[in-house]
Amino acid sequence: MASPQVKTIKVLVEGGYHAQVRLHLPPGLREDEEMTFPLILHVCAAPGSQLVSEQWSVDWGTYLASNRNFIVAQIDGRGSGFQGDRLLHEMHYRLGSVEIEDQIAVTKYLRDLKYVDRDRIAVWGWSYGGFATAMILAQDEKVFHCGISVAPITSWTHYDSVYTERYMGTPNVTDNYRGYEEADVTKRAGNLRNKLFLLVHGTADHTVHYQQSMMLVRALTDQGVLFRHQTYADEGHSFSGVQHHFYKAMESFLDDCFGPLDFEEWEIGTSFFTFKQ
């Protein structure tokens, strides 16, 4: 398996900030050619988080870029860490706002790159990234076709108060009731109606309780939204006992999301392009 090409760029976002962006590109991609590739946004977006760095790693995104010839993007926008206190504190008292706006805005920019298939764009995230994924799909209209939320926080009033109140204050009318309401994914469930959506959670998750997904399931059902739900019995936040099944399930969902790919002009089976058929 050839290693993906790695490209790091900066994209201007609202407020005069620059989002840090890293792209894992298929090994055989040539920017001067006319081929286009599906794009998957891997999102975290938690306060103080950082995905784009010089740290070396091999993960599912590496596999998707190398073996499946998908472009995998990671974006550190407003609220992310290690880019100064001003950018970091843009999220204060408003989780689910500016960090989501930046993920959508930068993906719109990436969509216009000549090697990106603008009709095949997905997003996925885990924990806070699962929350961000659902919020992105709920706020986006035309960029993303599908998304995968893994163990997401869906209602901050039901999440760990030590973590939540650090960034959001308290959910009462004298503090930040409005912020909690606007960051509640269950209140936006109807907006996922035209998206393909996969929700994954383990019943023994002590980091993000399974209740969080059940609340979203109830909201989606009440709104008549069709979706997929993958439950792992007795699994915790990391799915340590079902890793293979978990990643295969997500890969299968992406195949359904993107549909058949047109390989007529692509060199199938070469050292650069080894497509799944």
> What is the reported pTM?
0.93
Q: Which residues are catalytic?
A: 127, 205, 237
Per the CB < 8 A criterion, the answer to whether 105 and 97 are in contact is: no
Identify the CATH number of the domain defined by range 5-258: 3.40.50.1820
Can you give the pLDDT at residue 162? 96
Q: What is the pLDDT of residues 228-259, one digit of tens each?
A: 999 999 999 999 999 999 999 999 999 999 99
Domain boundary assignment for the chain: 5-258
264 pLDDT above the threshold of 70:
no
Q: What is the pLDDT of residues 180-199, one digit of tens each?
A: 999 999 999 999 999 999 99
5 pLDDT above the threshold of 60:
yes
Pairing of strands 146-150, 228-232: unpaired
Question: How far apart are the C-alpha atoms of 38 and 105, rounded to whole Å?
Answer: 18
Residue 87 backbone dihedrals phi, psi, to 5 degrees: -65, -40
Per the CB < 8 A criterion, the answer to whether 37 and 61 are in contact is: no
Report which DSSP code applies to 269: T
Pairing of strands 5-12, 18-25: antiparallel
Looking at per-residue confidence, does 156 or 273 come out higher?
A: 156
Selection from 231, 11, 33, 43 nearest residue 121 by Cα = 43
**pLDDT bucket at 31, cuts 50 / 70 / 90:** confident
Can you give the pLDDT at residue 273? 52
**pLDDT bucket at 277, cuts 50 / 70 / 90:** very low
Selection from 88, 78, 197 nearest residue 136 by Cα = 197
Can you give the pLDDT at residue 109? 98
The whole-angstrom distance between residue 67's C-alpha and the CA centroid of its chain comes to 20
Q: What is the pLDDT of residues 53-104, one digit of tens each?
A: 999 889 999 999 999 999 999 999 999 999 999 999 999 999 999 999 999 9
Can you give the pLDDT at residue 260? 85
